[in-house]
Amino acid sequence: MKSFKRFFMAMLLIGVLSTSAILCACDPNSRPREQPSGIPSGSETEQPSGAPSGDDEIIEPYTLSLTRFYLKDQNPYISDYFDDESKLNIAEKINSVEELKSFCEEKHLKIFDETDTTLKSDNVSKKLNEYDEEFFSKRSIVLIFRFNETADYYTYDSVDIKDGVMTVNLVTANGNATTEVRTHVRIFEISKQVAKEINQIKVEESIGELDQKVGIQIFNDLVTIKSATSSPIINSSEELSIFKDFSIYEYASIETIERFIALLEKYDDAYFQNKSLILIFVGRVQSRFYKVKSFDIKDDLLNITLSTPKSDDYYIPWPITTCAYMFEVDRDQVATVTKINVTQIEE
């Protein structure tokens, strides 16, 4: 009898253990999944450059992927192809690696030339080299070259797609950057569905809201006056002549002062017939560049707000300790202004 009980208990224990082993084998959460060789548990495999992150990825209809500005004579992509001025501004849709390479070959751009290293460090070249067939299986790109030199600083505003036409709207934001003659490149990434709908690409440039109110120029170098020798609102060539006197400046080099005074030469008697010039010198905080955020007049007070991003990750330190801001306004606009308040903010 005792032998039978021992035999029965042993068989029951074996059954329980066998059932537990089967359940563990069926439960995917009972133990960590094995990672491919060389990849630690919990890490994600890196996607190929330019490739979508997965089958369930949400693909936006269009996104602005890159914008790159170049100062006068410093754009490395202006090849002899662009000697014809009618070709300076280009907007083109690219659907594959083969089309991208053909585009670059036609425009004499050595982006994919392994023997030429002149473009390897430029962000546009780096970005275009990232696009592979995996990327183009779900997306296309739109390349916009604006190589016609301009002193206006254009920012991206919006995209409209209607009746097979993709319209990229750019607006001036001359208070957002120092005004230098510049060209620029933009890259948009678009979904294949949107790419199928587009037969034509247009770029519309218009004057931004702030620039409609006031003309803005910014001199981005060390130029400091010793004291407030005149009202910042200037209404005549005679009043402006004070700022053409080298003796009122300090710390700046002769060359810097000469460059600044050269900017003032265009404000002559003809200009001051109907306009005024507001000239403000503002010190920099941590050598940051501050854009012009607002320019508002209420009664006798003019409020000017200059802003810079809060995070160090979002601004580029400029080697500037002072900026000169020049505001071109209709004389009637500032006829009642007796006080000017300049506020610098982070946002």
Whether pLDDT at 318 is above 60: no
Predicted confidence at residue 282, as pLDDT, reads 81
Query: What's the pLDDT at 8?
Result: 44
Q: Select, from the ranges 10-24, 81-95, 113-127, the one with the highest average predicted confidence (pLDDT).
A: 81-95
**Confidence band of 223 (pLDDT split at 50, 70, 90):** confident
Q: How far apart are CA 305 and CA 342, in angstroms?
A: 6
List the single range of 174-178, 208-212, 216-220, 284-288 with lowest mean pLDDT: 284-288
- Lowest-confidence region among 25-29, 99-103, 227-231: 25-29
* Residue 321: predicted pLDDT: 62
Q: Could you write out the DSSP letters of every residue in 233-253?
A: EE-SHHHHGGGG-GGGEESS-
The percentage of the chain sitting over the pLDDT mark of 90, rounded to a whole number, equals: 54
Residue 294 pLDDT more than 50? yes
Amino acid, res. 180: E
**pLDDT (tens digit, 9 = 90+) per residue, 132-165?**
999 999 999 999 999 999 989 999 999 999 999 9
Query: Average model confidence (pLDDT) for the chain?
Result: 81
Query: What pLDDT is recorded for position 204?
Result: 97
User: 316 burial class (0-12, 13-18, 19+ CB within 10 angstroms)?
Assistant: exposed
pLDDT value of residue 149? 92
What is the structure's pLDDT at 17? 46
- Least confident interval from 110-119, 184-193, 218-227: 218-227
pLDDT in the model for residue 286: 59
CA distances 288 to 84, 93, 163, 317, 342, Å, are 39, 37, 44, 5, 16
Compute the C-alpha angle 274/278/280, nearest 5°: 170
